[in-house]
Amino acid sequence: MSERSLEGQPSSNPPQQKRRRKRKRRPALALIRSYQKADWKRATGELKQSVPGLGVSFTIHIIVIVIMSWFVIRNRDSSFSPLELGWTTVVESNAEDPADEQEVIQPIVIPSVSMNKNASATEAETPIIDGETANTNPDQQSDPELKLADVSQSLQLRKEKRGEQDGDGQGAKKGTGREAIRDALQWLSRQQQSDGRWRLDEGYSNPGTIETDTGATALALLAFLGDGHTHLDGEFQKEVAAGLNWLAKTQKADGDFFDIQEQGIEAHFYSHAQATIAFCEALALTNDDSLRASAEKGVRFLEAAQNPELGGWKYRPLNVDGIGDLSVTGWALMALHSARMANIEVDFNSFYIAERFLDSVQEEPFKPEYYKYRPDFPVSSSQRLSMTAEGLLCRQWLGWPKNHLPMRDGVKFLISEKNLPEWKPNRRNVYAWYYTAQTLHNIGGENWKNWFERTLPLIVQGQQSSGKDRGSWHPLRPLGAPQERSQDAGRLYLTVMCVLILETPYRHAPLYGE
């Protein structure tokens, strides 16, 4: 080929260069497409490989979901959310010092109520109490119907037991509690005022700071009546007659026995309920109709003061917005049952809504063996013993059988090692022991026997044995648990509570007949 042809004619190289340039511009798109095709092939390949594994996993998940759904349906708990009724003023309490209260604004809430009657019977073990096996048949562990306990024979033991220490007192054997009771009643006799009243806050060593002569007088009368002494019979009939006479004169037209006009005082409904119990017991023991009017007016005042929907009692008469507490409610219920002992008619609705209140102070909706102070308060471990003992006793009055599973579980708690009575600082708690004694005594058996045999000598040994206060108990030696309240209620209160515990074997006949 000539040199001209090489230089003068167009060369074929430029088109090749253009094609090469085009090939350099096109690979980006081609490469993307090739990557997409490769990714698709790889993805579809991996998917094909994973299909068997996905199938197995899907099948396993379906099986698990079906099994879990079966358990949920089988154990379904149909319950309603708490019902908020509106806003109200309530009293907020210090758990360490219930007397330290302040009013706050908060909504009233009714706790959720289960529709599952068998919820309380789902226990891992069948408890054994007093050698008997609990019946855990769901058909027999549903909530018992409201059926008031038979109280027609509740006071039958008092007179025959009083006879053991009448006359020269030879029946009052040391170590049995009979001598301790006699000495205590003699001390109480010496503290009575000339007009028939007793006082909590003055007149003897270590008085309290709580001011209510109604409360002091009613408590003293309960100690005398508990041992069978009435205004018509017994060694202390003059003291009982003078005390009842003072209370009758103090009672207001509406039936209120409280001796202070101011509303909302903590001692108000404790005192009124205790005075009502005293009149009802004296009436039941003697059939003296001269006491009936005062007793009936006291009962009517209690009925009117109860929250008409939520069922509790507090320091003042309650409307539908007022919130009661279990401590006051227990005394009020005891007064209504004492009225039944005296054949005074009581509105059944009072018991019906009281049971509703007890439901609201269970620590948990489906664990009715533990109780707390108020429905709107958190659980307090320091109050669990006293509130549980009081709550279970109230349940006994309202018809719970002794072999009901929550009753058995509650009793196991009362007699547990950590709750056994001790006469030691911050351990003595006669308020809790007062309710524990009655609850266990109603059930009877070895649990009651063992508990009382442990508690009786502790109380007897703590009694003052000489001096002007012989027969009483010192409220600060030792200083009891805060919930006992002896530090502010004083010597007379502690003395009466100890006497009532010692009188338990015969003060009321056991509700279950043993």
CATH of the domain at 470: 1.50.10.10
Digit-coded pLDDT (tens) for 9-34 = 444 444 444 444 444 444 444 434 55
User: 108 in a domain, yes or no?
Assistant: no
What is the DSSP secondary structure assignment for residue 435, as one 8-state letter? H
Lowest mean pLDDT among 145-159, 381-395, 425-439: 145-159
Number of domains forming the structure of the chain: 1
Q: Residue 93: which residues within 8 A CB-CB, separation 6 or more?
A: 100, 101, 373, 374, 377
pLDDT beyond 60 at 113:
no
Digit-coded pLDDT (tens) for 33-62 = 554 555 555 555 554 565 566 565 666 667
Residue of 445, 434, 322, 320 whose CA lies nearest to 376: 322
Q: Are 373 and 99 in contact (CB under 8 A)?
A: no
CA torsion through residues 260, 266, 269, 271, sign: negative
Q: Are 270 and 315 in contact (CB under 8 A)?
A: no
User: 478 in a domain, yes or no?
Assistant: yes
User: 183 in a domain, yes or no?
Assistant: yes
- Which band of pLDDT confidence, cut at 50, 70 and 90, is reported for residue 176? confident
Amino acid at 159: K
Residue ranges making up the domain that contains 381:
151-507
- Which band of pLDDT confidence, cut at 50, 70 and 90, is reported for residue 119? very low
Neighbour-count burial of 20, counting CB atoms closer than 10 A to its CB (0-12 exposed, 13-18 middle, 19+ buried): exposed
User: 145 in a domain, yes or no?
Assistant: no
Bridge-based pairing state of the strands 101-110 and 132-133: unpaired
pLDDT beyond 70 at 363:
yes
Q: Tell me the whole-structure pTM to 2 decimals.
A: 0.74
What share of the chain has pLDDT > 70, as a percent? 70
pLDDT beyond 60 at 5:
no
Digit-coded pLDDT (tens) for 65-96 = 766 665 544 444 433 333 333 333 334 444 43
Alpha helices, H only, 112-226: 158-162, 178-191, 213-226
Digit-coded pLDDT (tens) for 458-471 = 999 999 999 999 99
User: 340 in a domain, yes or no?
Assistant: yes
Distinct helix (H) and strand (E) counts, the chain: 17, 6
The chain-wide mean pLDDT, for the chain, equals 81
Name which residue leads in pLDDT, 386 or 107: 386
pLDDT beyond 70 at 237:
yes
Residue of 438, 433, 443, 408 whose CA lies nearest to 508: 438
User: 102 in a domain, yes or no?
Assistant: no
Stated as kind and residue range, the H or E segment containing 92 is: strand 83-93
User: 288 in a domain, yes or no?
Assistant: yes
User: 303 in a domain, yes or no?
Assistant: yes
Using CA atoms of 170, 503, 501, 505 in order, give the dihedral in degrees to the nearest 10: 110
Q: What whole-number distance in Å separates Cα of residue 294 and Cα of residue 335? A: 13
Q: Are 498 and 490 in contact (CB under 8 A)?
A: no
